[in-house]
Structure 1
Amino acid sequence: MLNDFGHLLRVAEDLLDAAARHAARVVSDCHRWLRLLGPAAPVLERPLAELERAAADVAGHLRTMLDRPGDPVALWQAAERWRLAIAAQATDRAATFTSGSLHADDHWQGPAAEAYARTLPPQHEALLQLAGTAGDTAASLRETAAALVAYWTAVGAALTGLTAQLATAAAATATPATAPAGAALALAAASECIAALNGLQRALTLELERGRRTQQTLLTRLTDGPAFPSGHWPVAAAASLSDGSLTDGDASDWSLRR
């Protein structure tokens, strides 16, 4: 469906154009019959005016959305970069920052060697936190991409129904006797579509807001908490590592394990 997103938008535009043509025909036909209806003209005038407003509302709403429809493909690609380039690599690197993978302590001992070993757990924890955050970021981006696709799919379905009903209404307004019924049908269809679009818009807005809050929360996981003291990556060195000499005789010397 992501690869077909451009096609989905083109279908929505085509349906919107078709709906506009049918609505314009209903309006044109009804205006033509008004003078022939005599005392019955007011029965047609009010729904006709409401139909024109409703058709303009549908077109205005969707034209604005089609100008900036979102880009689920870009979101999905960004999610894959977070998953593969960051989450997966951080997970692999974390596996190397454990005492089991440390080989220096097989050959060296003393305060400096012990201090070096103590730097491993904070690095390991930070890498795991980064991997988890990157994975969750990827999931959030995929969810937003899916929400955009679902929104436009539903919009297409709503426009399909609207176009079909307006086509029926346009056929009915071809004669003055059935023009009022056709206008009423067109108005009902446009009103139903507006209600559906408003509901879809609210749902999409809620989903995008949820995604924004999720991203903010994920950001704090990289700037707060024990894995990142004071919002920084844990230090990979300690004072005891500053003296790596073997011969000056102080207590921090590295020495070969016996």
Structure 2
Amino acid sequence: MGHGLPLSESEFNDLIHTLDDGIRRIEKLANDIIDRVNDGLRFLGPLAQGALDLLRRFGELVTKFFSEVGKFFTRWGVPWTLYSHGQTWTQQVGGPVHELVSKVDAGQLVTDDYWTGTAATAYNGLLPLQVKALAAIKAATDDLDDALWKVAGGVIAFWLAIAAVLAPYIVELIAAAAAALGVVTAPAAAAAAGASTAKAIALTTAVVTMSITYLTTLWTQMRDLDQRLHNSDGLPDGHWPTLVSDISNGRVHDGGKTLDWNIKS
């Protein structure tokens, strides 16, 4: 297949480094907000308890955010390896098989030009089945390449979506951290940081859910491919078509004729 991926290998690696740096920055900003609001609590008087409640809620949400992110964040995936395997199936298996399809034909072979008899007839009768088998293999390699390309693209799309979640979240935490420096604005900073974190959690969960749905669809595609290979007319019971007749017997009978192979006169 002639598919490409949305990012080059180096661009994907840069994306991963950016995400890793982003997570570290979120952790630092969260700690800064907590420390700054805590420092201002003693000056808030009767408002201190409300600010403390908001701060605790923010801390709980941050913990939940890192818990969700931690489920997948160290497993980046290898989209370019998947893509390469798909290309290999197409180029090294599908391509050569496709070339054989036009050759495995009675009109392209010399068997029927020089031989006749039971074995020759059986062999020529097998050729259409071999063409079907080769066509089934070519179709399977195309489907496999397509599936691996989609998985590779899905991995990249997933991390791009996560990056789209983290970028505004970091911006909002920076603003909250700045507001947390002020005694009067500290409670609002804790509230804003909590709201931003809740939103980031919801968006992250949505991205994960969509990715699971996408991969489930691809898994169904691969399962259907496996079933087609095992139920294909070209590959009976998942195996290469075989002869029913024995074409290896070349015994000579009276009159100089052979049982299975006879040279055309």
Mapping of residues 85-100 of structure 1, within 5 Å: 85-100=92-107
Which residue of 117, 122, 125 maps to 1:118? Answer: 125
Q: Answer yes or no: is the 8 Å Cα contact 2:90–2:142 preserved in 1.
A: yes
Q: Is the 8 A contact 2:118 2:261 kept in 1?
A: yes
Query: One-letter code of the match for 2:105?
Result: T
Q: Deviations over 1:172-199 (max 9, x none)?
A: 0101111112112111111111111000
Unaligned runs of 5+ in 1: none
Q: Any conservation in 2 of the 1:112–1:244 contact (CA below 8 Å)?
A: no
Deviation, structure 1 residue 244? 3.3
* Local SS of the residue matching 2:30: helix
Offset at residue 79 of structure 1 (A): 0.7
For 2:249 and 2:131, the matched residues in 1 are separated by 24
Which amino acid in structure 1 is aligned with residue 28 of structure 2? R
* Residue 108 (structure 1) aligns with: 115
Out of 33-42 and 169-178, give the one that drifted further.
33-42
Q: Which residue of 2 aligns with 1:194?
A: 201
CA contact (8 A) 1:246 1:255 kept: no
The reply on whether 1:242 has 2:259 as its aligned counterpart is no
Matched, 1:78 2:85: yes
1:38 is displaced (CA, Å) by: 1.3
Using a 3 Å threshold, how does the CA distance of structure 1 residues 170 and 234 change in structure 2: closer, same or farther? Answer: same
SS at match of 1:65: coil
Compute the displacement of 1:222 (Å): 2.1
CA apart distance, 1:116: 1.2
C-alpha distance in 2 between matches for 1:156 and 1:139: 26
Contact (CA 8 Å) 2:250, 2:258: kept in 1 or not? no
Aligned to 2:4: none
Task: Output the TM-score relative to the length of structure 1.
Answer: 0.93
Q: Give the gaps of 5 or more residues in structure 2.
A: 1-6
- CA deviations on 1:204-223 (whole Å, 9 max, x unpaired) are 11112222222222122222
Q: Does 1:28 align with 2:39?
A: no
Give TM-score scaled by structure 2 length. 0.91
Task: Identify which of 195, 212, 217 aligns with 2:219.
Answer: 212
Q: Distance in 2 between matches of 1:154 and 1:231?
A: 40
3-state secondary structure, aligned to 1:177? coil
1:15 is aligned to 2:22: yes
Matches of 1:70 and 1:137, distance apart in 2? 18
Out of 64-73 and 201-210, give the one that drifted further: 64-73
- Measured in 2, the distance between the counterparts of 1:26 and 1:79 equals 47
Query: Is the deviation greater in 139-148 or in 240-249?
Result: 240-249
1:223 match: secondary structure: helix
Q: Note closer, same or farther for the CA distance 1:211–1:2 as it changes in structure 2 (3 Å cut).
A: farther
Structure 1 residues 198 and 49: CA distance shift in structure 2, 3 A:
same
Partner of 1:148: 155
CA RMSD of aligned residues (A): 1.7
TM superposition shift of 1:245: 4.7
Instruction: State how far apart, in whole Å, the 1-side matches of 2:228 and 2:216 are.
Output: 19
Which string of whole-angstrom CA distances, capped at 9 and with x for unpartnered residues, describes residues 127-186 of structure 1? Answer: 100110111011001001101101101111211111111000000010111111211211
Identity of aligned residues (%): 27
Give how far 1:230 is off: 2.7
Which amino acid is the alignment partner of residue 245 of structure 2?
A: A
The offset of 1:45, in angstroms, is 1.8
In structure 1, C-alpha distance between the alignment counterparts of 2:246 and 2:201, rounded to whole Å: 70
